[in-house]
Amino acid sequence: MTEPAITPELVAKHNLTPEEYAHAQEILGRVPTYTELGIFSVMWSEHCSYKNTKPLLKTFPTKSPKILVGAGEENAGIIDIGDGIAIAFKIESHNHPSAVEPFQGATTGVGGIVRDIFTMGARPVCAVNSLRFGELTDPAVRRLFSGVVSGIAHYGNCFGIPTIAGEVYFDKTYAGNPLVNAFCLGVLRHEQITRGAAKGVGNPVFYVGPATGRDGLAGAAFASQDLTEESAEQQRGAVQVGDPFMEKLVCEACLELLATGAVAGMQDMGAAGLTCSTCEMAARAGTGIEIELDKVPQRAANMSSYELMLSESQERMLIVVHKGREEEVKRIFDKWDLPWAEIGIITDTGHMKVRHGGKLVVDIPAKKIADESPVYHREAVEPAYIKEVQAFRLDGIADTTVPADVLKKLLAFPSIASKNWVYRQYDHQVRDGSVVLPGSDAAVIRIKSDSLPVMSAELESKVAGTQVPEKLIAMTVDCNGGYVYLDPYEGAKVAVAEACRNLACTGALPLGATDNLNMPSPLKPELFWQIKESVRGLADGCKAFNAPVTGGNCSLYNQNPAGPIDPTPTISVVGLIEKPEHVTTQWFKDEGDAIILLGDAVEATPVQGLGGSAYLQVIHGKKTGAPPRCDLETAKTLHTTLIGLIQSGLVKSAHDCSEGGLAVALAESCIGQLIARDTPRLIGAQIALTPLTPSLSPSDGERVAKPGEGNVRLDALLFGETQSRVIISCKALDAVKVVERAKLMGVPAVQIGKVGGDQLTVKTASGEFSAPLPELHDAWWNSIARAMA
- The set of catalytic residues is 47, 94
Q: What is the DSSP string of 314-341?
A: SS-EEEEE-TT-HHHHHHHHHHTT--EE
Non-local (6+) Cβ contacts of 170 within 8 A are 132, 133, 134, 135, 136, 141, 414, 415
Asked if 34 and 6 count as a contact pair (C-beta separation under 8 A), the reply is: yes
Non-local (6+) Cβ contacts of 505 within 8 A are 441, 442, 584, 586, 642, 654, 655, 656, 726
Residue 264 CA to residue 202 CA, distance in Å, equals: 11
Q: What stretch of H or E contains 555?
A: strand 549-555
Residue 685 CA to residue 649 CA, distance in Å, equals: 22
Asked if 692 and 707 count as a contact pair (C-beta separation under 8 A), the reply is: no
Asked if 269 and 277 count as a contact pair (C-beta separation under 8 A), the reply is: yes
Q: Which pairing describes strands 563-564 and 471-478: parallel, antiparallel, or unpaired?
A: unpaired
Residue 313 CA to residue 277 CA, distance in Å, equals: 13
Residue 290 CA to residue 320 CA, distance in Å, equals: 12
Q: Which pairing describes strands 673-676 and 679-681: parallel, antiparallel, or unpaired?
A: antiparallel
Asked if 129 and 140 count as a contact pair (C-beta separation under 8 A), the reply is: no
Asked if 389 and 626 count as a contact pair (C-beta separation under 8 A), the reply is: yes
Residue 50 CA to residue 519 CA, distance in Å, equals: 12
Q: What is the DSSP string of 472-541?
A: EEEEEEE--HHHHHH-HHHHHHHHHHHHHHHHHHHT-EEEEEEEEEE---TTSHHHHHHHHHHHHHHHHH
Residue 447 CA to residue 507 CA, distance in Å, equals: 16
Where does 210-272 have alpha helices with state H? 219-222, 229-234, 244-258
Asked if 695 and 568 count as a contact pair (C-beta separation under 8 A), the reply is: no
Which residues, in sequence order, are bridge partners of residue 696?
703
Backbone angles phi, psi at 452, to 5 degrees: -80, 150
Beta strands in 301-425 (DSSP E): 317-321, 340-347, 351-356, 359-365
Query: How many CB atoms within 10 Å of residue 10?
Result: 14
Q: Which pairing describes strands 351-356 and 288-292: parallel, antiparallel, or unpaired?
A: parallel
Asked if 660 and 416 count as a contact pair (C-beta separation under 8 A), the reply is: yes
Of 542, 715, 556, 739, the residue nearest 622 (C-alpha): 715
Query: How many CB atoms within 10 Å of residue 65?
Result: 6
Asked if 610 and 394 count as a contact pair (C-beta separation under 8 A), the reply is: yes
Residue 131 CA to residue 91 CA, distance in Å, equals: 12
